[in-house]
A and B are shown apart, each in its own frame.
Chain A
Amino acid sequence: MARRGGLGGFWNEERKLSLQVFLSNKPAVVGLVIVLIYIADALIVQFAPWLLGLKNPYALTPNYINPIPQPPSWKYPLGTTYPGVNLLTAIIKAIRVDLGLSVAVVLPGAGLGIVIGIIATYIGGWVDDLLMRITDIFFSVPYLVLAIAVGYVLGRDITSMIIALIIVWWPLYARYTRSVTLQVRELTFIEAARAAGASNAKIMFRHILPNALPPVLVQMSMDLGTVMLVISALAFIGFLPVSNFPELGYLTTLGLNYINTAPWTILFPGIVIVIFAVSVYLLGMGLMDVINPRRRSSL
């Protein structure tokens, strides 16, 4: 059969349609392109910094000879910030750090949350109640405050910041996974699978999970932006231990004393943060379209 050959390949009808739906959402495509640029930047700085001529890719290079912020010029396209840091290269370095940190928070946080959410629905009863009350406790405290508290207890370094954010972030996913799973579990095809003789584990992993995960993945993509904002906020209020660490939130603080005469010192790193948060959101909306059957069938 001709069509069966197509089933094994990566580009089956289903995937082609998904791509088509995604491409029809123009803002999402823009979001995707920008996110890809950020990712490319991070990968180049990580693995091939010489391509961009970066000599010291993992730290800021201060220039104490001329520490006062300079306006954008040919030499410094985005200007410099205190103490004489070239903003363009600083931002290029910082994107790697911020992207890395938000992935380091979102992936384990979501993983932990998804596993706990599934356990809660699968076992149900008092286990479910207990896990959901724990997430309630986390939800009742503003996450920034909680992250600061956890970070304070664990110590002021990057690892403790990541751990603090994971601890703050997993309940969101546990709750979300649980609600999606419960929704899927009520659909008739689950009953049909039971009538077909499928075991509980098989129903969970073949029917419920594949239908429950896509919305969670969309949530993850959107959270990359949110987490980056939170990390920047934490860095802004001085959560970072090292003084020349290239981080976008920290970059905005460097020129704070010169804000009246050198607004670019805050503007450019800030814009980079905002653009990422917005593009990741647009990308998420596009992915949302892809998993929404109504959008699919309208094409």
Chain B
Amino acid sequence: MIIAGRHLKEYFPVKGVRGAYVRAVDDVSIDVHEGEIVGLVGESGSGKSTLGRLLVRLLDPTAGDVLFNIPDSELREYDDALERNDKQMVKKISSKYSILRLKGSRLKMFRREVGIVFQDPYSSLDPRMSIADIIAEPMIETGLYKRAEALERAEELLEEVQLPRDFAYRYPHELSGGQRQRVAIARGIATNPKFVVLDEPTSALDVSVQAEILVLLRELREKHNMAMLFITHNISVVSYMADRIYVMYAGKLLEYGPKTQVIRSPRHPYTQALISAVPEVGREMRRVVLKGDVPNLVMPPAGCRFHPRCPVAVAECGWDSGEVSEAINRLIEARYAELSGKLSVKPKGPLALEVRGISAQQLKQIVDAESESTKALKAIYSIKDAGDHVEVSLAAPREPRLVPVGPGHAAACILLEGKEGK
């Protein structure tokens, strides 16, 4: 395994608010094999770029570990040890392969083995350095070559990314977006790394240039057999590039698996919605349209983070009293105007509500009639009269686990977990 992230968490403190964190990446594990392209898809703000930066140690994780260049057998041992909670064994293996405690020359050695290409080719190149200096920087800084040799090699790299050699002594502002991104790629692969993170390398470019860059990246992979983590929000790009796909949403990993499996038979409702949005020639589109936005990562939804937008959500998905009371209020405003003003809903603790101005019987009828269209109502577990008000209690949420659904294919949805957890 060239790189393996284990239970990675990255919490960014919210400025000015004590104890509040943006949970950009929350308990994500990821594997990248030698020479493989892994696609990482997700919406903006899903934490995919943060995960990419964690893997090349541009960020230090809040928790979790990143293991570099670890033999598969030892990685298996490490995972077993994690499962058993065998701290000594975990520590022993981690001390050999973890990148998190690297310092000085060993960190530079690691930097030589990895590269990164950023999304925006306009801000990722220092405007005051010549192209040759930009490409040579990683080679010089990691001590791979002396300056003269590095500049020599920079010209070769330009050729490799299909730019003329004499671009070496130009400056970034003289280049177009596509040319700049080629320079950024040349810098990313300058030290002949074994693993490169490509953070949306094409999304700032126009479509015709995008295709050229993708072809170039595939050629480079063939030639140097480098593993890549291809971060993108574009499903069709990932289906062209990747061998395996990871799907992230709101800091969590929802599904991963071989490309064909994830694209052809996605198992997580979110992946299904994503893939349904890709148009295809000769097929009628059956798009699953998601409502709403990516949730707030400071206070993410309980249970499954996708549940507020999920088209097939069920009772245990993680609804809390706040969400249910809001759903009831909206429903009353929209469909039961005669009750509006009379009825009041108050959350009492995370899983209980107090409703006034309606009988239990009436509320039950409404809930039964509307729970298909208003998913939050599905969480209502019991409705009881309690004197002057109605007590509503909700089903306890369940945290989804990644369950295997095929060879090397897993998804985190409680619908896939079967009966075992109940």
Binding site for B on A (CB under 8 A): 1, 3-4, 6-7, 12-14, 187-189, 191-199, 202, 207, 210-211, 293, 296-297
Contact = CB atoms under 8 A, between A and B. Distances in A.
B127 A196 contact: no
Contacts of B130: 7
Contacts of A296: 173
B398 interface: no
Given A7-B169, A191-B58, A195-B56, A211 B126 contact: yes
A200 B410 CA distance: 41
A14 B171 contact: yes
28 contacts: A1-B169, A3-B166, A7-B169, A13-B169, A13-B174, A14-B171, A188-B123, A188-B124, A189-B125, A189-B126, A191-B53, A191-B124, A192-B118, A192-B126, A192-B184, A193-B137, A194-B58, A195-B56, A195-B58, A195-B111, A195-B138, A196-B141, A197-B108, A197-B111, A197-B142, A207-B126, A293-B173, A296-B173
Contacts, number: 73
Chain B contact-residue range equals: 20 to 34
Contacts of B92: none
B115 to A, nearest CB: 7
Interface of B: 53, 56, 58, 107-108, 111-112, 114-116, 118-120, 123-128, 130, 137-138, 141-142, 166, 168-171, 173-174, 184, 187
A13 B171 contact: yes
A3 B169 contact: yes
Contact of B169 (A4, A192, A193, A196): A4
Nearest to A208: B126
List the 7 shortest-distance A-B pairs measured between CB atoms, nearest first. Answer: A196-B138, A197-B111, A197-B141, A188-B124, A189-B126, A197-B142, A188-B123
Nearest to A297: B173
B138 A197 contact: yes
A233 B184 CA distance: 53
B339 to A, nearest CB: 51
B128 A211 contact: yes
A210 B128 contact: yes
A198 B142 CA distance: 8
Contacts of A14: 171
B141 A198 contact: yes
Contacts of B127: 211, 293
A215 B112 CA distance: 34
B163 to A, nearest CB: 14
A210 B116 CA distance: 23
Interface centre among B119, B130, B141, B168, by most A CB within 10 Å?
B141
B29 to A, nearest CB: 23
Interface-centre pick from A191, A197, A198 (highest chain B CB count, 10 A): A197
A194 B111 CA distance: 9
Nearest to A190: B126
Given A188-B119, A192-B125, A198-B141, 8 more contacts: A187-B123, A192-B118, A193-B141, A196-B142, A197-B108, A198-B137, A211-B126, A211-B128
Nearest to B127: A293
Given A14-B171, A293-B173, A192 B187 contact: yes
A4 B116 CA distance: 28
Nearest to A202: B141
A21 to B, nearest CB: 11
Nearest to B121: A188
A196 B123 contact: no
A16 B282 CA distance: 56
Given A187-B123, A188-B123, A195 B115 contact: yes
Nearest to B114: A195
Nearest to A14: B171
Contacts of A196: 111, 137-138, 141-142, 187
Q: Which of B116, B168, B169 counts the most chain A CB atoms within 10 A?
A: B169
Contacts of A188: 118-120, 123-124
Nearest to A196: B138
Contacts of B112: 197
A287 to B, nearest CB: 16
Nearest to B115: A195
Contacts of A1: 166, 169
Contact of A192 (B114, B124, B142): B124
Nearest to A184: B126
Contacts of A192: 116, 118, 124-126, 184, 187
A185 to B, nearest CB: 12
Contacts of B111: 195-197
Contacts of B187: 192, 196
Q: Which of B111, B114, B125, B126 has the most CB of A within 10 A?
A: B126
B144 to A, nearest CB: 9
Nearest to B199: A188
Contacts of A189: 123-126
A207 B171 CA distance: 14
A182 to B, nearest CB: 14
Contacts of A202: 141
A237 B142 CA distance: 61
A197 B56 CA distance: 11
Contacts of B108: 197
Contacts of A4: 169
Which residue among A14, A195, A202 has the maximum number of chain B CB atoms within 10 Å of its CB? A195
A124 B187 CA distance: 30
Nearest to B171: A14
Contacts of B56: 195
Contacts of B166: 1, 3
B237 to A, nearest CB: 20
Nearest to B130: A7
Contacts of A199: 141
Contacts of A187: 123
A124 to B, nearest CB: 13
A7 B127 CA distance: 16
Contacts of B119: 188
Contacts of A210: 128
A24 to B, nearest CB: 16
Contacts of A13: 169-171, 174
